[in-house]
């Protein structure tokens, strides 16, 4: 483990979209060092060497872990940006190697797999966290601040949409996978569920509609969650949405919080964009006022990782949150299959 005055050495496993375009830039922006990259693709390996000077490139996780038996070559952290179906196997291998690990979301395909990884990490005393980066979105940070301040009063409904117009789906494994590891439920649904639980607490029941309209796996998802707090969350993700709805609408006894756009998505509410530096609107009927973004960003996840590993603070995401999220997604599958609401225990 690096001392506080040294750069943490990070190994990024997988150099596709997640590893190359998300994790590596954020790791570097947080002031950490990408020391190793794992990819079996020669073109991606060449790109890694060009884009991260001095990086060591390995053809597989086993090769990285074998090299890591040497203290000089041992990374302080492994980031798993591999396909979802490999997360449990890869996370258990890193835990067995005794190296702290960040797993891209979702931690596993189901609650059983997620629980297995967390229990193994705790038994081995190996730090583990999960990359639920959308907790650091502008709207999420800002909304959390409004809730802490009581600005919206008692919230009775939380709506969040991740809707896109993609009738011709990109040829990525998430859209083409016929097995359990593809589809919007595990891609975007896990972010939606994590955001709802982070804001409004445990879920007591789930109703879901999950369909495949244009792809080999689910591309149209709706979840209705009942929280123990009394708040209802309506969450949707879709790829065949010609008119995306407002990104976020939160209804409370003292008004509403409305977010009309997300990540540059073009839709019918563009004219309501509040402008630079603003996260959304505080609305009372026909009255509205712009709400300034709370400070922060996705890089704060890896800044938190640095503090977690060097100072012994809390993990940026409690891995048990990933287990709870997986339980909700499992219930959503059962609900969609049966057409009924599924209760969650505890």
Residue spans in the chain of domains classed CATH 3.40.50.720: 9-133+299-317
Assess contact for 283 and 268: CB atoms under 8 A: no
Q: What is the pLDDT of residues 236-285, one digit of tens each?
A: 999 899 888 999 999 999 999 999 987 766 677 888 889 899 999 999 99
What does the pLDDT read at residue 124? 98
Q: Looking at the chain, list the stretches that DSSP marks H as alpha helix, in order from N- to C-terminal side.
A: 24-29, 42-51, 61-67, 87-96, 111-124, 138-149, 173-176, 184, 190-200, 299-311, 319-338
Question: DSSP assignment, residue 8?
Answer: P
Q: What is the pLDDT of residues 129-170, one digit of tens each?
A: 999 999 999 999 999 999 999 999 999 999 999 998 877 766
Look at the domain 9-133+299-317 and name its fold: Rossmann fold (3.40.50)
The CATH number fitting domain 135-296+330-338, selected from 3.40.50.1110, 3.20.20.70, 3.30.420.590, 3.30.360.10: 3.30.360.10
Gap between the Cα atoms of 201 and 228, Å rounded? 7
Query: Taking the model in full, what pTM does it have?
Result: 0.92
Residue spans in the chain of domains classed CATH 3.30.360.10: 135-296+330-338
Q: What is the pLDDT of residues 163-178, one digit of tens each?
A: 988 777 665 545 555 5
């Amino acid at each position: 483990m690096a001392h506080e005055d040294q750069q943490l050495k990070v190994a990024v496993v997988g150099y596709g979209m997640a590893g190359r375009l998300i994790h590596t830039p954020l790791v570097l922006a947080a002031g950490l060092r990408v020391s190793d990259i794992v990819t079996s693709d020669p073109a991606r390996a060449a790109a890694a060497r060009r884009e991260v000077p001095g990086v060591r490139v390995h053809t597989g996780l086993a090769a990285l872990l074998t090299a890591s038996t040497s203290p000089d070559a041992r990374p302080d952290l492994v980031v798993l940006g591999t396909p979802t179906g490999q997360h449990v196997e890869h996370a258990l291998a890193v835990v067995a190697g005794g190296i702290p690990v960040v797993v891209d979301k979702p931690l596993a395909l189901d609650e059983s797999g997620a629980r297995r990884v967390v229990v193994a990490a705790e038994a081995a005393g190996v730090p583990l966290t999960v990359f639920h980066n959308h907790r650091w979105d502008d709207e999420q940070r800002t909304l959390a601040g409004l809730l802490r301040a009581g600005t919206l009063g008692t919230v009775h409904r939380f709506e969040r949409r991740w809707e896109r117009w993609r009738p011709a789906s990109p040829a990525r494994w998430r859209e083409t996978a016929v097995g359990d590891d593809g589809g919007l439920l595990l891609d975007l649904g896990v972010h939606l569920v994590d955001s709802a639980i982070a804001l409004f607490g445990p879920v007591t029941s789930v109703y879901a509609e999950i369909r495949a309209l244009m792809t080999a796996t689910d591309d149209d998802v709706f979840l209705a969650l009942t929280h123990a707090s009394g708040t209802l969350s309506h969450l949707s993700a879709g790829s065949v949405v010609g008119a995306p709805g407002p990104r976020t609408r939160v209804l409370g006894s003292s008004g509403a919080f409305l977010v009309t756009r997300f990540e540059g998505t073009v839709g019918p509410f563009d004219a309501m964009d509040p402008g630079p530096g603003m996260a959304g609107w505080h609305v009372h009927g026909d009255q509205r006022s712009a709400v300034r973004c709370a400070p922060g960003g996705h890089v704060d996840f890896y800044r938190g990782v640095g503090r977690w590993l060097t100072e012994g603070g809390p993990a940026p995401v409690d891995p048990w949150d990933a287990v709870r999220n997986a339980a909700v997604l499992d219930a959503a599958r059962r609900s969609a299959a049966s057409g009924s609401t599924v209760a969650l225990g505890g």
